[in-house]
Structure 1
Amino acid sequence: MSRPLLFLDVDGPLNPYAAQPERRPEGYTTIRVALQPGRPLRVWLNPSHGAALLGLGYELCWATTWMDAANRWIGPVIGLPELPYVDFGTGLFAFRPDGVHWKTEAIVAHAEGRAFAWVDDEQSPADEAYVASVHPGPALLHHVSPRLGLREGDFTALAEFAATLRT
């Protein structure tokens, strides 16, 4: 039996970008990233998150607008090895009239029927309904507050979901 997938968004779960702008959350470090010309992006990351994520028993995969750039900028800071990523291609930020997030269809396709959990700060009931209707395996869409980032309760929920797959 293969391990379940864990799709990771960066901005929100790993980078609590909506926290008070003048107060870096405790335990986080600041990096400046120049993904595009102009003003560098401030990113807060918690170096302990990598080990915690690796300890959950999932196969990790980036599911972020950062795509492969997450391997250069995010992974090394939090202690993750190079990870595969969902290539959103031309679907990046594409509007869907049914209210399903633009990432959802690509994530389900990438999972290829495997059990998965997806941590993000932009999921909605429309995404839950879409996944339930088209994905044949177990799935957990776990919302993370962009003001807080991943917390102990989030890791617990992910561990509990993974445990249900082993029984």
Structure 2
Amino acid sequence: MAGPVNRPILFLDVDGPLIPFGDPGLRPGGHSGISVGPRSLPTGSNPLLARIDPRHGSQLSGLPCDLVWATTWMAEANEVISPLLGLPELPVVDWADAEDEGPLHWKTRGLVDWAAGRPFIWVDDEIAEADRAWVAAHHGRQALLHRVDPRRGLTHTDFAIIADWLAQL
């Protein structure tokens, strides 16, 4: 088993994986005009928070990895999402310098930098093949870029894939 410094990281997005969109019209920029991030509605009145499955907290904390928020919610993920899931305060990736470069997702380079050579899993609903190819070419360790269906959010199948990948390290 890897030591604490070498434990794999699980980078976790909120909107899509933990807050499923269901109706495609509820997706940010969708027809309804509703945005799910914390800046769109006052945190306490975001009606989409009811879509969070509190059981995901114990499933996530039971994985042999370090959980890290990789979301535009930033520190508000610890204030709002962590308590709903029963999770402790987690580290947060700072997106201050994130840039959209070509076909890559704007998070991709920052996550590889943040991982600093540690194996990692990235759970997001916007991962594409270009991100997988770039990480494979530029990250010196194993990485699982796992795209979650934003209509359903994290499912039992997603957790099984993540657990199996971690078990193979």
Fold equivalence (TM over 0.5): yes
The partner residue of 1:53 within 41, 55, 60 is: 60
**Could you say what secondary structure the match of 1:89 adopts?**
coil
> Does 1:105 pair with 2:112?
no
Number of paired residues? Answer: 151
> Does 1:150 pair with 2:157?
no
Residue type matched to 2:8 in 1?
Answer: P
Cα deviation for residue 8 of structure 1 reads 0.2
Residues 37, 148 of structure 1: alpha-carbon distance in 2 compared, 3 angstrom cutoff: closer
Report matched runs for 1:10-159 at 5 Å: 10-17=14-21, 19-20=22-23, 35-36=38-39, 40-43=45-48, 44-91=51-98, 94-97=99-102, 99-159=103-163
**Could you say what secondary structure the match of 2:133 adopts?**
helix
In 1, Cα distance between equivalents of 2:56 and 2:40 = 29
> What TM-score, normalized by structure 2, do the two folds share?
0.83
In structure 2, the gaps of 5 or more residues are: 25-35
Superposed structure 1 runs of 4+ greater than 4 Å apart: 37-40
Cα deviation for residue 90 of structure 1 reads 3.4
Residue type matched to 2:66 in 1?
Answer: E
Residue type matched to 1:131 in 2?
Answer: V
Residues 134, 46 of structure 1: alpha-carbon distance in 2 compared, 3 angstrom cutoff: same
In structure 1, the gaps of 5 or more residues are: 22-32
Query: In proportion to residue count, which structure has more strand?
Result: 1
In 2, Cα distance between equivalents of 1:131 and 1:35 = 29
Residues 147, 113 of structure 1: alpha-carbon distance in 2 compared, 3 angstrom cutoff: same
Question: How large is the Cα RMSD of the aligned pairs?
Answer: 2.0
Query: In proportion to residue count, which structure has more helix?
Result: 2
2:15–2:37 contact (8 Å) kept in structure 1: no
